[in-house]
Amino acid sequence: MTVSLARADSGVGHTLKSASKEQYSQCEEQEQPMIHPLVRDVKMQVDEYVLQNWDFQDDDSRREFVGQNISSVASYYFPSALDDRIYLVSRLLAVLFLIAESLIQFDIDDGEEYIEALEDAVKGHWLPDESIPAVWMLCGIFDEIRAQDYMLADDIIETAFAHLRRFATLES
């Protein structure tokens, strides 16, 4: 399609080529964010897992968690992840988010002590306390990560706990 533009006062005319509807729709499609194809199923399963196991203060906290859409974050960050791994990463990010949120109640020293205890449990230095969801959920997720890629698990542990330590110092 060609459009002619002319300025009446100057006598100068310009001819512009505009994109066809097909070209425009292809451009629009490319601007859509990539997302993992299992995002809905992942969100549903991760939300269910967290809601059944995390010790929320009340129903409003539960609704707030679901409303924040944390369970879908990994599907946007890793749109081409292997199907079995996207569930693990989504659960990990959701649990790390909840742990980070719980750090708000601690001062810097207590937060650091809490993070060290979690890290020791994840690394297998002591058995996870089944009465503390943050501990056993995180240990379970890392056990699954180790089962899939043992070498990568240590790097993920280090990164996760570095993030929690940074968050703890920002919040205090």
DSSP per-residue string spanning 61-104: HHHHHHHTTGGGHHHHH-TT--HHHHHHHHHHHHHHHHHHHHGG
pLDDT score for 155: 95
pTM, full prediction: 0.78
pLDDT at 12 over 90: no
Q: Classify residue 99: in a domain, yes or no.
A: yes
Residue 92 has pLDDT above 70, yes or no: yes
Q: pLDDT by residue (tens digit) across 46-78? A: 999 999 999 999 999 999 999 999 999 999 999
| Band of pLDDT at residue 168, cut at 50, 70 and 90 | confident
For the stretch 39-48, pLDDT in tens is: 999 999 999 9
Question: CB under 8 Å to 138, separation ≥6 — which residues?
Answer: 95, 96, 99, 118, 121, 122
Closest CA to 50 of 108, 100, 92, 3: 92
pLDDT per residue as tens digits for the range 144-156 = 999 999 889 999 9
Closest Cα partner for 94 from 53, 127, 58, 126?
Answer: 53
Does 107 reside within a domain?
yes
Task: Give the number of domains in the chain.
Answer: 1
Contact 66, 54 (CB under 8 A): no
**Is 15 within a domain?**
no
Residue 2 lies in a domain: no
C-alpha 98 chain-centroid distance: 12
47: in domain: yes
Q: Is residue 151 assigned to a domain?
A: yes
